[in-house]
Structure 1
Amino acid sequence: MIGILIGIIPVVFIVLVISSIVGFKKGSGVSLERGHEMIKTVYVYLILFATLMMTIGGTVAAFMAVADIVSPPANYQSFEQYRTMPEYKQNTALGQGQGQALSDAELKSNYDQMVAEEKAITRTRAVNSLIKSFGWIVIPLPIFLFFQNKVKKQPV
């Protein structure tokens, strides 16, 4: 959704620039300096809109990443499903010989190890996503604040 909005912004900007140029050529009574001011104002508001959307998107993504860290999704197969896997898959995955059967204690140990590894991988992905989300907040926010101050200083 944000990508679509950001894709529309240049089109709107180009349409406004073209319409202002056509208005100047037709002699609509608008001075050239007023037209430049209008283009600058539109440009500033487009920058404000784009950076605000980026910051909001980054904030939502950061919240989702924190939620994954606090309460990670647990989509693991149950021990019963793990135990009923065909023996050749269990043995080849563990690097054991084809004919050996694992005891329930060994299966439980392997299952617990698999679940712990999955939890660690999920947490690592969530932390990575959080760091990327902070990039979507930290990078556009100063640009937004800079242009916001320009709008406050402009006379109406």
Structure 2
Amino acid sequence: MIFSLLCIGAVLVIVVFVVIIAATELKAEKNKGEREVVKNIYIYLVLFATLMMTIGGSVGVFMAIADIVAPVPYHQTFEEFKRFDVEKHAGTDTIDKQASPSEEELKQQYEAMVLAEKEKQANRAKNNLIKSFGWIIIPLPVFIYFQRRLVNKEIS
């Protein structure tokens, strides 16, 4: 996400500089080539922007696949979980020992919580993977179209 924002910011800065340069070039040139200069600048800007979007999406895909393949381990240990549960039951002012769960029940609750957290991380990574593919699939046809236009223009 931060990488995408940085790419968009860089593209905007480059667009501003190119527009300023193009404006000064257009003022300097008063012949028929003015339109060609503007067209070329536009094509190169579109190629640059779509290429940056595709690269950003590719990085996002790689990171999402890495999160699916090797998820971040759960950070709370069983001892911390058990201590939190004991502290939770200690504040209830009940002397009844049946209210606090046994060691095996706590272990089952902990395992269920760890499994739920792993599933949540995997689902989040899959969601990010789909979003990152969007950053590749959407600008790629635009890039290919404008690249072919540029190649055809250079041939003729």
Instruction: Give the distance between the partners of 1:61 and 1:113, measured in 2 at CA.
Output: 30
**Aligned-residue offset at 1:18:** 1.8
Q: Distance in 1 between matches of 2:93 and 2:87?
A: 6
**Cα distance per residue 1:88-128 (max 9 Å; x no partner):** 53699xxxx77321110010011001001100100000000
Aligned to 2:84, the other structure's residue is in SS state coil
Is residue 38 of structure 1 aligned with residue 37 of structure 2? yes
Deviation at 1:12, TM superposition (A): 2.1
TM-score calculated relative to the size of structure 1 = 0.85
C-alpha distance in structure 1 between counterparts of 2:90 and 2:55, whole Å: 49
**CA distance in 1 between partners of 2:109 and 2:90 (Å):** 11
The answer (yes or no) to whether the contact 2:74–2:114 under 8 Å persists in 1 is: no
Higher mean C-alpha deviation, range 9-18 or range 55-64: 9-18
Gaps of 5+ in 2: 1-5
Q: Unaligned regions of 5+ residues in structure 1, if any?
A: 25-29
Cα deviation per residue 1:72-94 (whole Å; 9 max; x = unaligned)?
111330111111115353699xx
Counterpart contact for 2:11–2:49, Cα < 8 Å: yes
**What is the letter of the counterpart of residue 15 of structure 2?**
P
Which residue number corresponds to residue 27 of structure 1? none
Name the % identity. 40
Q: How many residues align?
A: 146
Amino acid at match of 2:18: F
> Normalising to structure 2: TM-score of the pair?
0.85
Q: How does 1:2-81 map to 2 (within 5 A)?
A: 2-24=7-29, 30-31=30-31, 33-81=32-80
Alignment partner, residue 136 of structure 2: 137
2:3 counterpart residue number: none
Find the aligned partners of 1:39 and 1:145 in 2 and give their Cα distance: 20
1:43 maps to amino acid: Y
Q: CA RMSD in A?
A: 2.0
